[in-house]
Chains A and B, each alone.
Chain A
Amino acid sequence: MESILEQIERGKLWNIPGGVHPASNKASSTQHPIKRLPLPESLTIPIKQHIGDNGKLLVNVGDYVLKGQPLTEAAGHWSVPVHAPTSGTISEIAMKPSTHPSALPEPSVVLTPDGEDTWCELAPWPDFYAKSNQEIVDRIQNAGISGMGGAGFPAYIKAQPKNEIEFLIINGVECEPYISADDMLMREHANELIKGIEVLRKLYQPTKILIGIEDDKPEAIEALTKACENDHYTQVCAVPTKYPSGGEKQLIQILTSKHVPQGGIPSDIGMVVHNVGTIYAIYQAIYHGKPLIERVVTVTGDTIASPCNVWSLLGTPIKFLLEQTGFQPQQWQRVIMGGPMMGFTLPSVRLPIIKTSNCVLAPSSQEMPMPGEEKACIRCSACADACPASLLPQQLQWFAKSKEYNKLEEHNLFDCIECGACAYVCPSEIPLVQYYRVAKAEIRQEREDKVKAERAKERFEARNERLKREQEERQNRHKRAAKRTTDEAKSKVAEASKRVASNDKSAAVAAALARAKAKRTENGEPDNSEMAKLRAERKAQARAYKEEKPASVTTDNKKDAVAAAIARAKAKKAEQAEASNVSDTASDPRKAAVAAAIARAKAKKASSDLDSTTVSSEAAVSEPASTEDPRKAAVAAAIARAKAKKAAKKADSQNADTQAAESETPSEDDPRKAAVAAAIVRAKAKKAAKEAESQNDGTLAAEPTAQSEDDPRKAAVAAAIARAKAKKAAKEADSQNADTQAAESETPSEEDPRKAAVAAAIARAKAKKAAKEAESQSAADVQHNEQNNSQIEDHALPKDNISQEQAVPLDAEARKKAAIAAAIAKAKAKKAKQDKGSE
């Protein structure tokens, strides 16, 4: 049994299944040698003319380039550059219709030749044996060589196969009818081709080199046989004329009897196949250093007056080629890029020749009639007989029509090389190849969609899981929170009672308790010393609260701030034991805060009249209350306080209530304003009360203070102080007056906070004056107030930091501070008063 190599050397060829014998029609274009055409007016060079990635652009519009100068450089996978086909200027770099059935625009370089055709500097390697394989491969890549048979596979990839190569096969079969470009190249450049093959021989070191040429090209066979006469490595094989013998897999089968495995490449079985055009380009690149800038193109068809082969620069418009060869277009003219079996009709003739363009075919409607109407398949199986891949085209057609993609893949649709033999023989003129193309595209799309859908599914599931998790977490949190609320409430109550007994922080509370006891015995008459104690206790509480805050577990500072107010409010509420209507009040926290402040001020006064048991109950209730919605709570607090006051001040009640309600309106703009406004209200009330007082001193005294009080917080504090004093005054004065004034105060409160601050200061001054009159201690009072202010600022500082850390809006922070400060200020003011009073 002789080996395959021996059989090959004996001249044995194998057969491929199927195949057809269309009329070759090559004679008309082989009458003349390959022609050289004049330079076209412009060349459009798409930067991608191969399979793989685009190269990186090296030139700009307006650049002058020499012939052979690279326009792009290889970048990415399977990338080869393109070169300037002649010398000239880059006139445009833009998206241009590609030489593709779709004509989809591709980035292209438009070159206007200067007519000089000046070569750039070339580096010929007459003795390439001195070069390393890698150098050769790099040169093949940098010369922009990609497969010129049709697919445009970068040659340098093929030049470095993973496996050892047994047979190097040179494809000169050119089985497509009409095309004679390779035939003419072999006839005219046989010696150069052999030299090009030498280069590949160095790269691959194959056992045997086989040149396959169809036996209808006797001249080419003769020329190559002569060129490799003394070369026992190389063998020219005359392949029987049959379409599609020139297919890569088919040629391997014919020459070596071997089958390329399904989905594999020839190098898997130790083969590599190169087209003769590619070989010639390699020869040019290695021996002469010339990049791939031109190729042989067959221009033929019945509408071409002089069919021929031409050396066409890459980028030459097809229109130019047709004009040069005497194209006489007909109605329904078709211009085919490639052969009649596998070529594609061009949507326009303004497309460029690219590296894979081997033929421009312009047939008349007589020689290539338009396809007839598709008729029913008669299951004649002619297609199966013609299929070179031994597929069942008829079955595939049914499956493709019914979109049974699984069946299509089972029937090896992807082995179809789209040679068109089946459609060529189909008596019913069914465009089989078209069905397969569509089916393939749909299957690919489906695969992609499947991948996408899987990803989407994963995402969806992950999302569902996350949502579920989050929901669970939320529920847990709610449960915990609810538990904590009750627990905290309990513990706070316990704590409070404990504090009442032992805690040094609540010494004040204890004092209050003591006071309460004392009061119980006294019953009625307010005692100044008692009041002083109460104030001191309050202050201590407020401070303790503030100090606690930075370390506090509670997350929201705002809550805390409000909570402070609420706590107090609640305390009052509890003390009054009066149910409050929470929901029907305005929701704005600012309003609430203002209202709370007002209410607090009043409540305080009320509470001073009341039993001191308040304090313990206040402490007990304050913490649970803080867990609620701050806004509601605040509002509730305001209401509560208002009510508390109402209850407390049986005589005054109507007055305070109205005031609290009215103050909500101005507070809508700015809490600071509101606070100031509140102060004004009270100041005015006081003014009304103290009708006898002159204004002169007050104004003078107020002005220096007002200037220093830029800080809204200070203003608020001041306002609060003013308020406190005002209240005291108001208490003494008639309530009806204050009411009226409050209504009037809405307008001024809408103005600038600074003005308001000034106003507040004035108010304060007046209030002071009033206080002076009442207590004749005004100077000391002012001093004390200022001291208080600085104290408050100190306390506010740590909280400020926290608020920034927690990213709470500064405005809100300021508001909170203001509110708290106001409360504290009030407390201090009162205390001061009390102290003085007690003194």
Chain B
Amino acid sequence: MQLSLTSSPHNHSHKSLSTIMLKVCLAASLGIVCQAYFFGFGVLIQLLLAITTAVVAEALVLKLRKRDIKTALSDYSAVLTALLLAISIPPLAPWWVIVIGTAFAIIFVKQLYGGLGFNLFNPAMAGYVLLLISFPVQMTTWSPPMELAFNQHSLLDEISVIFTGITQSGFTTEQLRLGVDGVSMATPLDSLKTGLSKGLTTSESLQNPIFGEFAGIGWQWVNVAYLLGGIYLLKSRIINWHIPVGFLASLAICASIGVVFHPGVSTGPILHLFSGATMLAAFFVSAQVPFCIYLAAQPC
């Protein structure tokens, strides 16, 4: 009888690279659904564009590097990079923004450093930085939640805006950003900042219709979704609690300090925790999932 010989250990945690990547994507999916629900399908289009670009770019470079394309792609690390970048940029940003960002992330930040495991930076975040510096206008053109939008838009409108800059009915991206009152809508945190510069107190600013139950309309639920995704990652021991908890705790503590000393011009920790990309950053970026995965381990 021919016996196979292998080196110990003979069993494995069955946490392979690809399952980890896929689980992270899965954890992010709830947030993406929320984003699509509150802010339109733009994010899905961006996602599609990003993933396509990432896969093509990765395959291209791997071919040039004479590496096995299939094995490298099957770890889904490129997909995860694309996903993170796609959910980080405004959903209605022009198509070339995401294409440039993803291509840069994959080709320059990841592959030119030697591919997975050899990159110095988180490719998605490096791509984000590039885009923010290069295209500040496009990268800050966030549209209001659908329920507050003056000009309602369909999926086709969004596709049209992303690829041509105008909807089918001729609205520009700027026009889509107009709120119900006809004023260009800012993000919740932006409106707070604007309010403060106008001399309004925090409580007065919070009267802005953009704010919902405990944070900005739409944003609060998106953050809740990412928080749930993060808890899933913690539960499935894909990430360690140290970084996200440290991140969120310091944010909450700093916000609380502000409230204690300057209640008039400060907002509570809840608003901070559930606004913007806080939860996304806490669980999907700062824990550096595609770059540095913290795996299951019993705390000492």
A residues lining the B interface (CB < 8 Å) = 15, 17-23, 177, 242, 329, 332-336, 340-349, 361, 363, 368-373, 375-382, 385-386, 418, 420-421, 423-425, 427-429, 431, 433-434, 437
Contacts and interface: CB of A to CB of B under 8 A. Distances in A.
B15 interface: yes
Contacts of A380: 292-295
A328 B83 CA distance: 47
Contacts of B6: 334, 345, 370-371
Contacts of A373: 71
Given A242-B298, A376-B117, A382-B295, A429 B3 contact: no
B9 A433 contact: yes
Contacts of A334: 3-6, 10
Nearest to A18: B297
Contacts of A336: 10
B295 A348 contact: no
A345 B5 contact: yes
B20 interface: yes
A749 B14 CA distance: 99
B89 to A, nearest CB: 25
Interface of B: 1-13, 15-17, 20, 71, 75, 115-118, 240, 291-298, 300
B5 A425 contact: no
A425 B13 contact: yes
A473 to B, nearest CB: 60
Contact of B297 (A333, A344, A385): A385
A431 B10 CA distance: 10
A343 B5 contact: no
Identify whether the interface residues of A are mostly helix, strand, loop, or mixed.
Answer: loop
Contacts, number: 131
Nearest to A386: B297
B265 to A, nearest CB: 41
A728 B296 CA distance: 119
A733 B79 CA distance: 125
B7 A15 contact: no
B22 to A, nearest CB: 12
B3 A348 contact: yes
Contacts of B294: 380-382, 385
A376 B10 contact: no
A420 B11 CA distance: 9
Contact of A344 (B4, B8, B117, B296): B8
Nearest to B15: A427
A424 B12 contact: yes
Identify which of A15, A18, A363, A427 gathers the most chain B CB atoms within 10 Å of its CB: A427
B11 A177 contact: yes
Given A368-B11, A371-B7, 11 more contacts: A18-B298, A18-B300, A341-B8, A345-B5, A361-B10, A375-B117, A376-B115, A382-B295, A385-B296, A427-B15, A427-B295
A423 B9 contact: yes
A382 B296 contact: yes
Closest 8 CB pairs of A and B: A385-B297, A382-B295, A420-B9, A376-B117, A380-B293, A340-B11, A434-B7, A340-B10
Given A376-B117, A378-B116, A379-B292, A428 B3 contact: no
A73 B75 CA distance: 58
A332 B5 CA distance: 9
Nearest to B14: A369
A101 B75 CA distance: 33
Identify which of B5, B12, B17 gathers the most chain A CB atoms within 10 Å of its CB: B12
Nearest to A372: B16
A332 B3 CA distance: 6
A712 to B, nearest CB: 77
Nearest to B240: A385
Given A333-B3, A335-B3, A376-B117, A427 B16 contact: yes
A476 B153 CA distance: 111
Contact of A425 (B1, B4, B15, B17): B15
28 contacts: A18-B300, A242-B298, A334-B5, A335-B3, A340-B11, A341-B10, A343-B10, A345-B3, A371-B7, A375-B116, A378-B17, A378-B292, A380-B293, A381-B292, A381-B294, A381-B295, A385-B294, A385-B295, A423-B9, A424-B9, A424-B12, A425-B13, A425-B15, A425-B296, A428-B17, A429-B12, A429-B16, A434-B7
Contacts of B9: 340-342, 420-421, 423-424, 433
Nearest to A421: B9
A332 B4 contact: yes
Identify which of B3, B20, B296 gathers the most chain A CB atoms within 10 Å of its CB: B3
A433 B3 contact: no
A343 B7 CA distance: 9
A372 to B, nearest CB: 7
A343 B295 contact: no
Identify which of B1, B8, B71, B291 gathers the most chain A CB atoms within 10 Å of its CB: B8
Contacts of B297: 18, 382, 385-386, 425
A223 B71 CA distance: 52
B144 to A, nearest CB: 39
Nearest to A25: B11
A548 to B, nearest CB: 84
Nearest to A21: B298
A349 B16 CA distance: 32
Given A347-B5, A373-B71, A378-B17, A341 B116 contact: no
Nearest to A435: B7
Contacts of B71: 373, 375
B11 A424 contact: yes
Contacts of B2: 333
A413 B271 CA distance: 49
B72 to A, nearest CB: 9
Identify which of B16, B291, B297 gathers the most chain A CB atoms within 10 Å of its CB: B297
Contacts of A177: 11
B117 A371 contact: no
A336 B10 CA distance: 9
A326 B117 CA distance: 45
A19 B300 CA distance: 10
A729 to B, nearest CB: 98
Nearest to B12: A424
B4 A433 contact: no
Contact of A343 (B8, B17, B240): B8
Contacts of B20: 427
Contact of B13 (A347, A361, A424): A424
A231 B161 CA distance: 82
Nearest to A343: B8
A776 B158 CA distance: 155
B293 A431 contact: no
A371 B11 CA distance: 8
A376 to B, nearest CB: 4
Contact of B117 (A378, A420, A437): A378
A368 B293 contact: no
Contact of B1 (A20, A333, A375, A382): A333
Contacts of A342: 8-9
B11 A341 contact: yes
Contacts of A427: 15-17, 20, 293, 295
A383 to B, nearest CB: 9
Contact of B7 (A347, A381, A431): A431
Nearest to B77: A378
Contacts of B4: 332-334, 345, 370
A377 B293 CA distance: 11
A382 B289 CA distance: 12
A425 B11 contact: no
Contacts of B295: 380-382, 385-386, 425, 427
B239 to A, nearest CB: 10
Given A345-B10, A381-B292, A428 B117 contact: yes
Nearest to A427: B17
A100 to B, nearest CB: 13
A733 B107 CA distance: 118
Given A242-B298, A347-B3, A382-B297, A375 B75 contact: yes
Nearest to A437: B7
Contacts of A375: 17, 71, 75, 116-117
